[in-house]
Amino acid sequence: MATEPLLEVTDLVKHFPVKRGILIDREVDQVKAVDGISFSIPRGQTLGLVGESGSGKSTACRAVLQLIKPTSGSVKFEGQEIAGFSRRRMRPLRREMQMIFQDPYASLNPRKRIGQIVGDPLKRQGVASGSELRKRVNELLDRVGLQTEHYNRFPHEFSGGQRQRIGIARALALQPKLVIADEPVSALDVSIQAQIINLLDDLQDEFGLTYLFVAHDIGVVRHISDRIAVMHDGKIVEEGSADQVCERPVDSYTKKLLAAVPIPDPRESRDRRAGAPASS
Amino acid sequence: MSPSAPILAVRDLRVGFATEGGLVQAVDGVNFELRPGEVLAIVGESGSGKSVTAQTIIGLTRSSNARIEGSVELDGEELIDASDATMRQLRGERIGMVFQDPMTSFNPVYRIGSQIVEAIRAHRGDVGKDEARARVVELFDSVGIPNAERRVDDYPHEFSGGMRQRAMIAMALALEPEVLIADEPTTALDVTIQAQILALLGELNRKRDLATILITHDLGVVAEVADRVLVMYAGKVVEKGTLDEIFYDPQHPYTWGLLGSLTRLDRPRPKRLPQISGSPPSLLALPDGCAFRPRCPHEFAKCTELPDLRERITDAPGHCDRCWLDPEEKRAKRQVEGQIGLEAPA
């Protein structure tokens, strides 16, 4: 059993320069989108990253995957340092780490058929072609709850939930070890959210996947995560087991975040309002 | 709640749109009454008809390919066949509106304050510019925008999402309407901001006796502010009742499913999140009878016949639903691992 974590991030920093001037670009300020965060994820586990808009969670994901170059810090994947890797050096590693995006309407090429979309990673990485490719794609479609007859359809023919299933099938095509999911259910209807979360859960058990699950909905994050890290202003303000962070938060920002989540129980929310009058 | 006369009454509202694929019956027979000081939540998924219902009330769905039937009465006055000029006069003046996306609701090239001043002066010709501006400052104060005097001269992009939504609410309230329609007012906001906006809406409701229609998909938000709830599915109301009836004695399996699939921070997490299988039906190809039937684990022979919306339990007048199951049977069937939920399909 490997004891080293699959992903280890240390002091990751991503600053964006704020420039002024026409002829001479002067750097007048910096946006500290990610300001020195550290976390690690053991194999087969899920780390949930929660935070509000602008907290830096999406930038953190992109910096981990080297889709943007981190300003400084270390990202170790299976013990190997990948921070600052060029696109070419990252390419073989892309098989191992995949991403699921938020907007299932924007993340699928509208002019490609589902079979092509899901099969493309396999083709590009030279894993399969021809009838083998088709067989693999059909297996994937089946696994995420779609049917073989969907192979030749276009993305617009699918609902939001189905599109997210297509995105998941594409992410899993290369049998990655790490899957980074950035708000994978927040664009979906309530009744569909639960389906997708359960699917992600099942796939994790089946393929031993490791997830970095990013979302603003702390209820969803708690459900799927082993550990939760709370981000605020580019920093991780609290990290702990999912239940500990949600039930016994230590940091004041985490407490504020949890207190703001509406409880879908009229009696409890009446009690809560009576106990602590909300500010207006 | 005082049994005062309803300010808004919607009866048998039906809205259909002609499309290439045929007639889409987006709203199919909606009935409700709204009283001053009351918050009515309309809950449903995309395509359930909740937003079309709200937009039709204020006359925003009128077009050559729309078929609108039924009645919408505002304080006794029929709005369905009212002229466009009347509707224009009435929007803002008597019915205020708040939309989901505060970014696209303001014109980006005009100062926020002057847009609200313009709205006020369009309806109240006798109000001078300075007077209207003073009124906007007052409104900004009342919805909790700090430095109101200065912020009225800001452009929309200088406002954060939460502040923009407050400005939107200020604009909706500028002419002191009797009814406020809020369509997913907090969906685009962070939770901490959402809590502030909900508290603000609740406060306005009490202070001004404002009748509010809140459209949302989030049952957590509903629990925070609503008095009564309408659950919509595929264009029809499948259940309606008071807030507590809907949460503690829900009669329709779809409502059970919605309640069951919530992630709840106040309870230990279940191994598996209860889900509703399948997806909402296409309005162009609705099944016979109950529209929820294909996704319902409790379906039986009678479900191919459309159940009417009526009271089916004896102890709760006004609590109506569209489900053929026997109420006692329902109470047993909706218990999934000790909580209300929809059982997994066999």
pLDDT of residue B151: 92
Burial (0-12, 13-18, 19+ Cβ within 10 Å), B225: buried
Parts of chain A with a pLDDT under 50: 1, 278-280
Contact B254, B47 (CB under 8 A): no
Contacts of A266 in chain B (CB under 8 A): 223, 243-244, 247-248
B87 min Cα distance to partner chain A (Å): 32
A265 min Cα distance to partner chain B (Å): 6
User: Which chain B residue's Cα is nearest to A263?
Assistant: B220
Contact: B263, A222; criterion CB under 8 Å: yes
Task: Tell me which residue has tokens 């339990």.
Answer: B313
A223 to chain B, any CB pair closer than 8 A? The answer is yes
Distances in whole angstroms, Cα of residue A83 to Cα of each of A14, A38, A67, A77, A105:
12, 13, 10, 10, 31
Contacts of B218 in chain A (CB under 8 A): 190, 262
Contacts of B195 in chain A (CB under 8 A): 259-260, 262, 278
pLDDT of residue A280: 38
Q: Tell me the C-alpha distance between B236 and B322, whole Å.
A: 9
pLDDT of residue A279: 43
pLDDT of residue A126: 87
Contacts of B269 in chain A (CB under 8 A): 222-223, 242-243
pLDDT of residue B160: 83
Which of A216, A259, A278 lies at the smallest CB-CB distance from B199?
Answer: A278
Which of A195, A266, A278 lies at the smallest CB-CB distance from B195?
Answer: A278
Count how many pairs of residues, chain A against chain B, have C-beta atoms within 8 Å: 123
Contacts of A197 in chain B (CB under 8 A): 273
Q: Tell me the C-alpha distance between B73 and B58, whole Å.
A: 11
pLDDT of residue A76: 96
pLDDT of residue B133: 94
Task: Tell me which residue has tokens 């808004």.
Answer: B8
pLDDT of residue B102: 66
pLDDT of residue B1: 46
The ipTM assigned to this model is 0.82
Contacts of B257 in chain A (CB under 8 A): 191
User: What are the backbone dihedrals phi and psi of residue A173, each rounded to the nearest 5 degrees, phi first?
Assistant: -55, -40
Which of B45, B144, B264 lies at the smallest CB-CB distance from A190?
Answer: B45
Chain B interface mutation, best of A162, A163, A185, A189, highest count of B Cβ atoms under 10 Å: A189
Task: Tell me which residue has tokens 């670009």.
Answer: A25
Chain A interface mutation, best of B263, B269, B336, highest count of A Cβ atoms under 10 Å: B263
Burial (0-12, 13-18, 19+ Cβ within 10 Å), A257: buried
DSSP annotation string for A112-165: S-HHHHHHHHHHHTTS--HHHHHHHHHHHHHHTT--GGGTT--GGGS-HHHHHH
B215-228 pLDDT, tens digit each: 998 899 999 999 99
Please report which residue ranges of A173-215 form alpha helices under DSSP H.
Answer: 190-207
pLDDT in tens, chain B (346 residues): 446 789 999 999 999 999 888 899 999 999 999 999 999 999 998 889 999 999 999 999 999 999 999 999 999 999 999 999 999 999 989 999 998 776 778 899 999 999 999 999 999 889 999 999 999 999 998 888 889 999 999 999 888 888 888 899 899 989 989 999 999 888 878 888 888 888 888 888 888 899 999 999 889 999 999 999 999 999 999 999 999 999 999 999 999 999 988 888 888 888 888 888 888 888 888 999 999 999 999 999 999 999 999 999 988 999 999 999 999 999 999 998 888 889 887 6
Q: Tell me the C-alpha distance between A131 and B182, whole Å.
A: 53
